[in-house]
């Protein structure tokens, strides 16, 4: 993408309304614009990053056996009455009437709707277990929307729902989703610690929240350092083997990790003092096993092997997809801007032309742009006629993993400069060597 043909409204000033760094940087880097409280447009750069995150969530869900579908944002009130949640949900639910005075709502979550779909689609124990999910916009009329996409009113969620014949089966589905969360967050460069959680209005008896540690997090957390020291990036699992899944679940739930909602001083005291970490955290995922809480009132059952109907055992599994963008930036930035982990970066490379209009520099930059793009490398080409300082500052702010600079001085000796955003490591290379290195580094992303 050429910057001269893109829409990237960078802000020089720090917006006064933004209290936390991710919100400030998302506004300054031209990723999002607020439309009303807690409701945002995703500008082209932000939208690309959002799609990267979505893709990883999709891949890891499907690897764990979950099946994608898409349910609507607007739901009939009636199904929430049937489950008994319509009145209980309170003012967070945006209630709407259509032109026929029918009561509708903008979905804050989808347990009712998916339960009815599965009730109609699944008749026999032979059709179970199943996990279905979608990535869809939700609306919750939060009392205090804040911190940009972290606590929005409209936000993008991945919500999965598992259906099993037995409680034992449901626990395995729960554990599969648990493991898929570890893998999803690790691919995004995040350590999201699973913590024992309350089930709240979703209901049920087994629940974990996944939190990344960040000073600006809304939750107080208590974690055993031994858990943080584990290797989060190379969890290997065989989803077809229940023992493999259970083994990972055990190893990531055996050490103490709780939020203030479930914190228990007496149990915490069993963790040696030098291993006690108390910090703030941002919740990026929340999973629940709740048995027949919805399948019972909504009459979702399958015929069991003995010919008798069995009420389905269910769980639900949420990831805050839009919140993850904020969480990634909270976890990965410096004083100059965002430092994208490779998997979520909106482009792989910023190609900077230091002397737009100079025939030799233009030719070399154009050639690199064409070659890299043809090889599948995602390039944001800064072909504006601007001073070097301004270009570098802009590219540091948006934080792409690599910066490739073409300037008259280097080119005179046949060289371009390749710089890694993460650590500032810089190399002078021939254009061919730089291109080869970038193609290798971004392959498979």
Binding site for ligand 5CA (CB under 6 A): 109, 111, 140, 142, 151-152, 155, 157, 159, 202, 283-286, 316-318, 320, 322-323
The single residue listed with the structure tokens 């023992």 is 243
Burial (CB < 10 A; 0-12, 13-18, 19+), residue 4, is exposed
- Of the pair 114, 435, the CB lying nearest ligand 5CA is at 114
- Of the pair 320, 401, the CB lying nearest ligand 5CA is at 320
Minimum distance, C-beta of residue 45 to ligand 5CA, in the bound complex (Å): 20
Cα–Cα distance for residue pair 199/207, rounded to 1 Å: 6
Minimum distance, C-beta of residue 320 to ligand 5CA, in the bound complex (Å): 2
Minimum distance, C-beta of residue 93 to ligand 5CA, in the bound complex (Å): 12
- Of the pair 140, 391, the CB lying nearest ligand 5CA is at 140
Are the C-beta atoms of 438 and 404 separated by less than 8 Å? yes
- Of the pair 114, 128, the CB lying nearest ligand 5CA is at 114
Cα–Cα distance for residue pair 42/31, rounded to 1 Å: 6
Closest CA to 257 of 319, 306, 211, 312: 211
Query: Where do the DSSP E strands lie in 141-201?
Result: 154-164, 192-196
Q: Which residue is nearest to ligand 5CA (CB)?
A: 320
| Helix or strand holding residue 380 (H, E) | strand 379-382
Burial (CB < 10 A; 0-12, 13-18, 19+), residue 272, is exposed
CA 439 to chain centre: 26
Cα–Cα distance for residue pair 288/162, rounded to 1 Å: 10
Gyration radius of the chain over CA positions: 24
Minimum distance, C-beta of residue 111 to ligand 5CA, in the bound complex (Å): 6
The residues pairing with 139 across neighbouring beta strands, listed in sequence order, are 154
Minimum distance, C-beta of residue 299 to ligand 5CA, in the bound complex (Å): 20
Q: What tokens appear for 203 in the block? A: 């209901």
- Of the pair 318, 431, the CB lying nearest ligand 5CA is at 318
Cα–Cα distance for residue pair 80/429, rounded to 1 Å: 62
- Of the pair 109, 259, the CB lying nearest ligand 5CA is at 109
Minimum distance, C-beta of residue 257 to ligand 5CA, in the bound complex (Å): 15
Minimum distance, C-beta of residue 300 to ligand 5CA, in the bound complex (Å): 16
- Of the pair 150, 354, the CB lying nearest ligand 5CA is at 150
């Amino acid at each position: 993408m050429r910057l001269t043909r893109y829409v990237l409204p960078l802000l020089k000033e720090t917006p006064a309304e933004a209290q936390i760094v991710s919100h400030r940087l998302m506004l300054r880097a031209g990723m999002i614009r607020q439309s009303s409280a807690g409701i945002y447009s995703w500008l082209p750069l932000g939208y690309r990053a959002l799609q990267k995150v979505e893709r990883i969530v999709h891949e890891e869900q499907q690897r764990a056996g979950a099946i994608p579908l898409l349910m609507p944002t607007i739901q009939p009130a009636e199904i929430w009455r049937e489950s008994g949640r319509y009145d209980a949900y309170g003012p967070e639910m945006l209630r709407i009437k259509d032109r026929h005075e029918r009561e509708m709502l903008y979905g804050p979550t989808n347990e009712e709707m998916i339960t009815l779909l599965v009730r109609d689609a699944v008749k026999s124990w032979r059709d179970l277990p199943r996990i279905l999910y979608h990535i869809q916009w939700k609306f919750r009329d939060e009392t205090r929307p804040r911190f940009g996409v972290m606590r929005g009113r409209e936000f993008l969620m991945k919500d999965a729902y598992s259906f099993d014949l037995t409680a034992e089966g449901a626990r395995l589905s729960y554990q599969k989703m648990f493991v898929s969360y570890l893998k999803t967050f690790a691919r995004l460069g995040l350590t999201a610690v699973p913590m024992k959680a309350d089930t709240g209005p979703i209901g049920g008896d087994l629940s974990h929240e996944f939190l990344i540690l960040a000073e600006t997090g809304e939750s107080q957390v208590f974690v055993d350092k031994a858990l943080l020291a584990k290797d989060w990036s190379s969890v290997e699992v065989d989803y077809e083997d229940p023992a493999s899944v259970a083994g990972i679940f055990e190893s990531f739930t055996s050490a103490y990790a709780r939020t203030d909602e479930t914190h228990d001083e007496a149990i915490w005291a069993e963790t040696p003092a030098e291993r006690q970490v108390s910090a703030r955290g941002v919740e990026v995922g929340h999973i629940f096993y709740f048995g027949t809480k919805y399948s019972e009132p909504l009459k979702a059952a399958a015929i069991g092997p003995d010919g008798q109907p069995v009420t389905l055992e269910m769980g639900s599994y949420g990831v805050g997809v839009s919140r993850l963008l904020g969480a990634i930036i909270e976890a990965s930035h410096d004083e100059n801007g965002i430092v994208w982990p490779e998997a979520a970066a909106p482009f792989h490379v910023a190609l900077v032309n230091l002397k737009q209009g100079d025939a030799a520099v233009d030719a070399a930059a154009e050639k690199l742009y064409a070659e890299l793009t043809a090889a599948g490398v995602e390039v944001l080409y800064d072909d504006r006629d601007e001073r070097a300082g301004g270009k570098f500052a802009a590219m540091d702010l948006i934080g792409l993993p690599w910066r490739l600079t073409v300037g008259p001085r280097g080119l005179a000796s046949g060289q371009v400069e390749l710089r890694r955003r993460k650590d500032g490591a810089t190399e002078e290379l021939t254009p061919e060597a730089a291109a080869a290195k970038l193609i290798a580094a971004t392959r498979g992303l």
